[in-house]
Amino acid sequence: MEETKTKAAQKSLLSRLSGDSYILRLLAITILIFIAFSIVLPGKFFTVRNLQSMAVQFPEFGILAFAIMITMITGGIDLSIVGAANLAAIAAALILTHLGGDGGMSLSLVIPLAMVAALIVGSIAGLINGFLVAKVGITPILATLGTWSLYTGLSYVITGGPAITTTQLAFIGNSSVVGLPIPVIVFALLAVAFSIMLNRTTFGFNVYMLGTNPTAARFSGINIDRVLIRTYWLSGLVASIAGIIFLSRANSAKPDYGASYVLLTVLIAILGGISYTGGVGKVSGLVLAVLSIQFLSTGLNMLMLQLSGSSKAIFFRQFAWGGLLLLVMVINYYSEKWKDKRASEAA
């Protein structure tokens, strides 16, 4: 009896795993990248120090990828995430420098105040995006491209150009809890929260429904405007969390920090299986895409420096990102084609 239950559980697990072949292929590619660099760079890549270094790096763009993911599932996109993140970081830095200096407020008060201010700024930025998309009816790519310019320009107006330096949040970017860097813990908590929200809540169902078929969503009684506004608000909120990580890692806030992260997060989302037409995407795919990009970036940097000792790794890394994306897309195309052929033959 016990053996029968065990076999049934194993069969159930295998059926669930085989139900999403894309995630399995992406998992295999991620593991292969990690193993390949561990072999090519013995004693350098697969070390505790390097793993800790990578763990501190990827949450910066990994957290922003969640903001891109949630908007892409609705069939839209948020190109203003970096602008909103930097504006939130600048708001926090201003409070820390003006209220937390010598003779100012206690750090136990000013740090939470600065973080709350950053979250409020990100939320307002997201609500503006949601209003423009849902109420005004502007196409998401145009609306958020415009607000990206708006938020970035406002950041330059506030700072005058130079970065605002503060080290009062450095403990977030450089500290660890039970051996795990705090940015990784934040990334993991967001992954769990998004997974529960998208798979276990009515809002998550509405987001997928809206991305799959907006007309059917409207006729089924879903308040599309409310879903869109909440989605873009959530994107802005997540961007502000990334802004806090920016500030804690760089010990400064500036308008042009992470300028390349928008394209990188879009690449991660597509690589992770989030459909640009909406309605499709899983948190597990996004997390695997973030890890594969980080493994590839770090491995190539170390390899190019070892071979040539130059900075060419930066340019080759972007080439490799595009190559990885194309490779996964080609594998998926032929895999689906082979699956359809087998299905037609079976019929």
What is the distance between the alpha carbons of residues 56 and 33, in angstroms, rounded to a whole number?
19
Q: pTM for the complete prediction? A: 0.87
Residue 313's pLDDT band (cuts 50, 70, 90): low
- Which tokens belong to 108? 């136990």
- What are the residue ranges spanned by the domains of the chain? 47-280
Q: Calculate mean pLDDT across residues 191-215.
A: 95
Closest CA relative to residue 24, chosen from 343, 346, 331: 331
Among 3-7, 129-133, 173-177, 274-278, the range scoring the smallest mean pLDDT is 3-7
- 177 forms beta bridges with 180
What angle separates helix 313-346 from helix 21-40, to the nearest 10 degrees? Answer: 140
Is there a contact between 72 and 269 (Cβ–Cβ < 8 Å)? yes
Q: Calculate mean pLDDT across residues 59-86.
A: 95
**Does the structure show a pLDDT above 80 at 163?**
yes
Of 153-157, 269-273, 304-308, which has the strongest mean pLDDT?
153-157
Specify the DSSP element, H or E, that contains 21.
Answer: helix 21-40
Q: How far apart are the first and last CA of the chain?
A: 36
What angle separates helix 261-271 from helix 81-99, to the nearest 10 degrees? Answer: 130
What is the distance between the alpha carbons of residues 68 and 274, in angstroms, rounded to a whole number?
10
Residue 226's pLDDT band (cuts 50, 70, 90): very high
Residue spans of alpha helices (H) in 79-169:
81-99, 107-131, 140-159
Q: Calculate mean pLDDT across residues 143-156.
A: 96
pLDDT digits (tens, 9 = 90+) for 234-275: 999 999 999 999 999 999 999 999 888 998 899 899 889 898
What is the distance between the alpha carbons of residues 13 and 267, in angstroms, rounded to a whole number?
30
Residue 17's pLDDT band (cuts 50, 70, 90): very low
Specify the DSSP element, H or E, that contains 40.
Answer: helix 21-40
Q: What is the pLDDT of residue 316?
A: 67
Of 101-105, 217-221, 321-325, which has the strongest mean pLDDT?
217-221
CB count, 10 Å around CB of 109?
Answer: 12
Residue 312's pLDDT band (cuts 50, 70, 90): low
User: Which of helix, strand or coil describes residue 270?
Assistant: helix
